[in-house]
Structure 1
Amino acid sequence: MSGQAAGERVRGEKYGGQSREARAADRCERLVRAGLELFAARAFDDVTVAEVCARAKVSKRYFYEHFTDREELLLAVHRQQNDWLLAGMAAAAPQKPADLEALLRPMMTTLVHMLAGHPDSARVIYINAPRMELRRRGLLRKDAELFGRLIRRTLPEPPDALRHNRELLGLVAGVTEVLIDWLERDMADDADVLADHLTGFALALLTGSE
């Protein structure tokens, strides 16, 4: 390859000090961030690709390099935000909790405060993504599995695994519905009170206490 050809190739791959891959990753990140803001503010059908691109400062041509349509963008936004929420809860769980309450309370407190501090994320995860309803149902199992792994730090192996797994699924579904109710009322209730209620609910379900 001649020196001139090599120089042209490098110039094509680098722009503003960024490689082609870095520029593509930056555009994708901006599209996802714009999608988060718009899907949190309005219903899915009221958000257009043109609006997403305008907010992200990305041309439509590049939008379709990353996503086939708005629904695929919404899926990417929803996945990113749910993974962020689960990672925060897992990080809050102590490695060697004294008992089940010592494990659950920081997890529930972190969950509620993450949502309270990031209302856009909260609305996309739980409220403004009706097309994600089937995905949300699938995520209940994923969330239940996370809870199951974490509570093994304090509880022995259950004698009836099927019943235990259903209890975990019921716990996650119940927590989700309580959070949706809280969000639909504009987070009017105190976050710490809500976290306390969720902790008590989880303890009652998992231990059979009143």
Structure 2
Amino acid sequence: MTAAYTLYAKPGFTATTIERLCSEARISNRAFYECFGGREELLQALHERCVEESLAVVAKAVQEAPKTLDDRVKAGIRAYIDFTTADWRRARIMHVEVRRSGDVLTLSRQRAVDAFARLVEEASADFPQAAGLNRRLVALGVIGALQELLIEWLHSDEQPPIDELADVAVHIFIRSLGTP
């Protein structure tokens, strides 16, 4: 898993062969196949671990935040951005390689987005819906915005500061979830 965590982040999932994974991990191909059905299954396990860990971090931050919408949004976004960017490999697997893998992680990615959308919906449930908009669709929209901000951070020659990413994401979330 450790070898895949690094190799799937760079050079990337599509460029990483089972032979290279096994060489890096210092295991035989047979040992690999005793644990995983293929590199796709390993990528899914890595992605799901990253998602589970980040969901736990965000849920805890939101739960411990003061009970205002602004405070919940700020705490959740900051926790997510800090956790995701603390290790560039995690950020790449969750936001770049998950898309580059094609159909391999479609279901896993959909489950992750759904779990984060539920978290956003629950965190904002005590507040009026913005202009009567569908809360789930708003949650999906703001999640997409946050993902694009992190992709920009990963691909940019001059990475925007983490504080700036968080400020922009908070602005988008609060404007989207806030009352009209």
Q: TM-score, normalised by structure 2?
A: 0.86
CA distance in structure 2 between the partners assigned to 1:46 and 1:202 by the alignment: 35
Task: Note closer, same or farther for the CA distance 1:87–1:78 as it changes in structure 2 (3 Å cut).
Answer: same
2:26 alignment counterpart: 57
1:14 alignment counterpart: none
CA distance in structure 2 between the partners assigned to 1:33 and 1:171 by the alignment: 31
CA distance in structure 2 between the partners assigned to 1:187 and 1:93 by the alignment: 30
1:139 alignment counterpart: 112
Return the letter of the residue paired with 1:170: G
SS in 2 for 1:168: helix
The question of 1:41 aligning with 2:14 is answered: no
1:199 alignment counterpart: 170
Residue 127 of structure 1, CA deviation: 1.0
Matches within 5 A, 1:1-210: 32-95=1-64, 97-129=66-98, 130-131=100-101, 132=104, 134-135=106-107, 136-152=109-125, 154-155=126-127, 163-185=134-156, 188-208=159-179
CA distance in structure 2 between the partners assigned to 1:113 and 1:197 by the alignment: 14
Task: Give unmatched runs, 5+ long, in structure 1.
Answer: 1-31
Bigger Cα displacement from structure 2, 173-182 vs 65-74? 173-182
Task: Give unmatched runs, 5+ long, in structure 2.
Answer: none
CA distance in structure 1 between the partners assigned to 2:106 and 2:8 by the alignment: 17
Residue 59 of structure 1, CA deviation: 1.8
CA distance in structure 2 between the partners assigned to 1:181 and 1:147 by the alignment: 22
Residue 208 of structure 1, CA deviation: 4.6
Query: Identity over the aligned pairs, expressed in percent?
Result: 26
Residue 151 of structure 1, CA deviation: 2.6
Bigger Cα displacement from structure 2, 119-128 vs 54-63? 54-63
SS in 2 for 1:63: helix
1:23 alignment counterpart: none
Task: Note closer, same or farther for the CA distance 1:172–1:187 as it changes in structure 2 (3 Å cut).
Answer: farther
SS in 1 for 2:112: helix
The runs of at least 4 aligned residues of structure 1 exceeding 4 Å deviation read 158-162
Q: Deviations over 1:40-99 (max 9, x none)?
A: 011322211122122222221111111111111111111111211221111212446241
Tell me how many residue pairs correspond in the alignment: 176
What is the RMSD of the two structures over their aligned residues, measured on CA atoms? Answer: 2.4
Return the letter of the residue paired with 1:109: R
Task: Note closer, same or farther for the CA distance 1:160–1:198 as it changes in structure 2 (3 Å cut).
Answer: closer
